[in-house]
C-alpha cells in the first residue's frame, strides 16, 4: 500500500477531525468530550478500545502474530486564550490547543483508519494510546500503571510531536536523550518581621531570598560544564504585603531541567546545600521541597535508525533533520521510553507563506494541516515495517 497516497485521500477528514478538537479544547483529566469523540470514530471503524487513566483510551488493532507496537497521541489542551482569527478557533474561553495535541489525535485516528483497513496484512498488533494530562501530571505514567503496555505485550512505542521550528514536509530526529528531565522546587525563607524603618530589629527574608536566587545561578554558570546544558529558573517569588513592613516569610518557586540522572541528583543536592547555607549565614531558616517531574526522554538507537530508514521512503533523506541538541522542555512520552524501546520525533508544521510562524504555547499558534496526512502516513508505515521486521 502507498500509505501517503492513502493518507492524502483522508486529508479532508483529518482536517475536519483536527478542527473539531481545536474548537473544543479540554484540560488534563477533563477530556471527557474529546475522549467521547475519539471513541465514536473508533466504534465507527470497528476498533476495540477500553478507557484508562480516567479519560485516556487504549485501542487495539489485532493482526496475525504476537509482535506489538504502540503509538501515542496526547490529547489535552492548555489554559491559554486562543487569539487566532479563523473559523476553527477555540470556542472555550481561556482554553486552547496551543501545543498541537489536536493534531496528534487527528493523526493517530488517521493511522487507526488506515491500519484497520489492512489489519489482515499486519504481522502483529497495534496499540493506540490516547493520553490525557500530558501538559500537567503526565497521563502516560498513569496509563502504564494500569497496564496499557500489556495484553498484548508491547514491544516498542513510537510517538511524534508537531514542531513549529521545522517546515511542513520535514521531520526532526535525534538518537539518545531527546528531552530533559524536570524537577520543581518550592523554597520558604523564614525570617523575622519588623517595621521597614527599623530593619535591624528583624531578619529580612526578602534580602535573604535575593542572595539565595543569585547564588543558585552559580550552580549552572560555575559548577557545571558549559557543554552540558542545565537550566535552573526561578519563576515565582512572593513575600510581603505593604511597602514599610518586612515580612516573616518569602516563598520561591522554580524548575530545574537536566539531561542525565547524575546531573539531576547533583542539582537536587547542591540546591539544598546552597539554600540552607545562605539562609543560615543570614540568620534565617529554610524549608525546601523538591519534586521530581518527568524523566529524560531517551530514544533507542536502533529504533531511531529504523525511523530514519523508514521515513526516507516517504519524504526522502534530505527532509530528515538530524537534531544536534536535545530540548530542555519535558515530554511525558519519556515514561514510555523508560519501559520499552522507543522513538519520538518531531513533525514540521511551519509554513511562513501561510503565516504559520508562531511557537508552541503561543496564543496564535497554528499548524499547516498538510502535516496531518504526512504524519498519519509516516506512523502507519512505521507500524507496518516494524511488524514485518
Residue 123 backbone dihedrals phi, psi, to 5 degrees: -90, 45
Q: 323 burial class (0-12, 13-18, 19+ CB within 10 angstroms)?
A: middle
Predicted confidence (pLDDT) per residue in 82-97, tens digit: 999 999 999 999 999 9
Whether the predicted pLDDT of 183 surpasses 90:
yes
Cβ atoms of 77 and 18 within 8 Å: the answer is no
- Could you tell me what percent of the chain has a pLDDT over 90? 98
Residue 276 backbone dihedrals phi, psi, to 5 degrees: -65, -40
CATH of residue 247: 3.30.70.360
Task: Write out the DSSP string of 24-68.
Answer: S---TT-THHHHHHHHHHHHHTT-EEEEETTTEEEEEEE-SSS-E
User: Within its chain, how far is the Cα of 377 from the centroid?
Assistant: 22
Q: What pLDDT is stored for residue 167 in this prediction?
A: 98
Query: Of these residues, 4, 41, 88, 294, which one is catalytic?
Result: 294
Residue with cell 473508533: 42
Q: What pLDDT is stored for residue 106 in this prediction?
A: 98
State whether 148 and 175 are in the same domain.
Answer: yes
Largest Cα–Cα separation, the chain: 82
State whether 223 and 319 are in the same domain.
Answer: no
Whether the predicted pLDDT of 389 surpasses 90:
no
State whether 133 and 25 are in the same domain.
Answer: yes
Whether the predicted pLDDT of 221 surpasses 90:
yes
State whether 287 and 304 are in the same domain.
Answer: no
DSSP class of residue 203 equals B
Give the number of C-alpha atoms closer than 13 A to the C-alpha of residue 94, restricted to the C-beta side.
2
State whether 188 and 171 are in the same domain.
Answer: no
From 292, 320, 352, the end of a domain falls on 292
State whether 27 and 80 are in the same domain.
Answer: yes
Minimum mean pLDDT range among 198-202, 223-227, 256-260: 223-227
State whether 115 and 140 are in the same domain.
Answer: yes
Query: Of these residues, 26, 88, 369, 384, which one is catalytic?
Result: 369
Look up 369 and say whether it is catalytic: yes
Band of pLDDT at residue 190, cut at 50, 70 and 90: very high
State whether 101 and 134 are in the same domain.
Answer: yes
What is the number of structural domains in the chain? 2
CATH of residue 322: 3.40.630.10
Instruction: Note the pTM of the prediction, 2 decimals.
Output: 0.94
State whether 305 and 240 are in the same domain.
Answer: no
State whether 319 and 220 are in the same domain.
Answer: no
State whether 372 and 225 are in the same domain.
Answer: no
Cβ atoms of 240 and 206 within 8 Å: the answer is yes
Cα separation of 165 and 146, whole Å? Answer: 35
Cβ atoms of 342 and 303 within 8 Å: the answer is yes
From 292, 327, 351, the end of a domain falls on 292
Q: Can you give the residue range of the structural domain that contains 208? A: 181-292
State whether 186 and 261 are in the same domain.
Answer: yes
Predicted confidence (pLDDT) per residue in 14-54, tens digit: 999 999 999 999 999 999 999 999 999 999 999 999 999 99
Look up 294 and say whether it is catalytic: yes
Predicted confidence (pLDDT) per residue in 58-77, tens digit: 999 999 999 999 999 999 99
Amino acid at each position: 500500500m502507498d500509505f501517503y497516497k492513502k493518507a492524502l485521500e483522508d486529508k479532508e477528514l483529518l482536517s475536519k477531525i483536527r478542527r473539531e478538537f481545536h474548537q473544543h479544547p479540554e484540560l488534563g483529566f477533563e477530556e471527557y468530550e474529546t475522549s467521547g469523540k475519539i471513541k465514536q470514530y473508533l466504534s465507527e471503524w470497528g476498533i476495540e478500545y477500553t478507557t484508562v487513566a480516567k479519560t485516556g483510551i487504549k485501542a487495539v488493532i489485532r493482526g496475525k502474530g504476537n509482535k506489538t507496537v504502540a503509538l501515542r497521541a496526547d490529547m489535552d489542551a492548555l489554559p491559554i486564550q486562543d487569539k487566532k482569527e479563523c473559523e476553527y478557533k477555540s470556542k472555550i474561553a481561556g482554553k486552547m490547543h496551543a501545543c498541537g495535541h489536536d493534531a496528534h489525535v487527528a493523526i493517530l485516528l488517521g493511522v487507526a483508519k488506515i491500519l484497520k483497513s489492512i489489519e489482515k496484512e499486519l504481522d502483529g498488533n497495534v496499540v493506540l494510546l490516547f493520553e490525557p494530562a500530558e501538559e500537567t501530571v503526565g497521563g502516560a505514567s498513569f496509563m502504564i500503571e494500569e497496564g496499557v503496555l500489556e495484553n498484548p505485550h508491547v514491544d516498542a512505542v513510537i510517538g511524534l510531536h508537531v514542531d513549529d521550528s521545522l517546515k511542513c514536509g520535514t521531520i526532526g530526529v535525534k538518537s539518545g536523550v531527546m528531552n530533559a528531565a524536570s524537577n520543581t522546587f518550592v523554597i520558604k525563607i523564614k525570617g523575622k518581621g519588623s517595621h521597614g524603618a527599623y530593619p535591624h530589629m528583624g531578619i529580612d527574608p526578602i534580602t535573604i531570598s535575593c542572595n539565595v536566587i543569585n547564588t543558585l545561578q552559580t550552580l549552572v554558570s560555575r559548577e557545571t560544564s558549559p557543554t552540558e546544558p542545565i537550566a535552573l529558573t526561578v519563576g515565582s517569588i512572593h513575600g510581603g504585603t505593604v511597602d514599610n513592613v518586612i515580612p516573616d516569610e518569602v516563598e520561591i518557586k522554580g524548575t530545574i531541567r537536566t539531561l542525565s540522572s547524575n546531573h539531576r541528583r547533583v542539582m537536587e543536592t547542591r540546591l539544598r546545600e546552597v539554600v540552607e547555607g545562605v539562609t543560615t549565614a543570614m540568620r534565617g531558616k529554610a524549608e525546601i521541597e523538591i519534586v521530581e517531574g518527568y524523566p529524560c526522554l531517551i530514544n533507542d538507537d536502533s529504533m531511531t535508525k529504523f525511523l530514519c530508514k523508514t521515513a526516507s521512503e516517504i519524504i526522502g533523506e534530505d527532509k530528515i533533520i538530524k537534531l544536534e541538541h536535545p530540548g530542555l522542555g519535558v515530554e511525558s512520552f519519556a515514561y514510555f521510553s523508560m519501559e520499552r524501546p522507543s522513538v519520538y520525533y518531531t513533525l514540521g508544521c511551519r509554513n511562513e507563506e501561510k503565516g504559520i510562524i508562531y511557537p508552541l504555547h503561543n496564543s496564535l499558534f497554528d499548524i499547516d494541516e498538510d502535516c496531518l496526512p504526512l504524519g498519519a502516513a509516516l506512523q502507519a508505515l512505521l507500524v507496518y515495517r516494524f511488524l514485518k521486521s
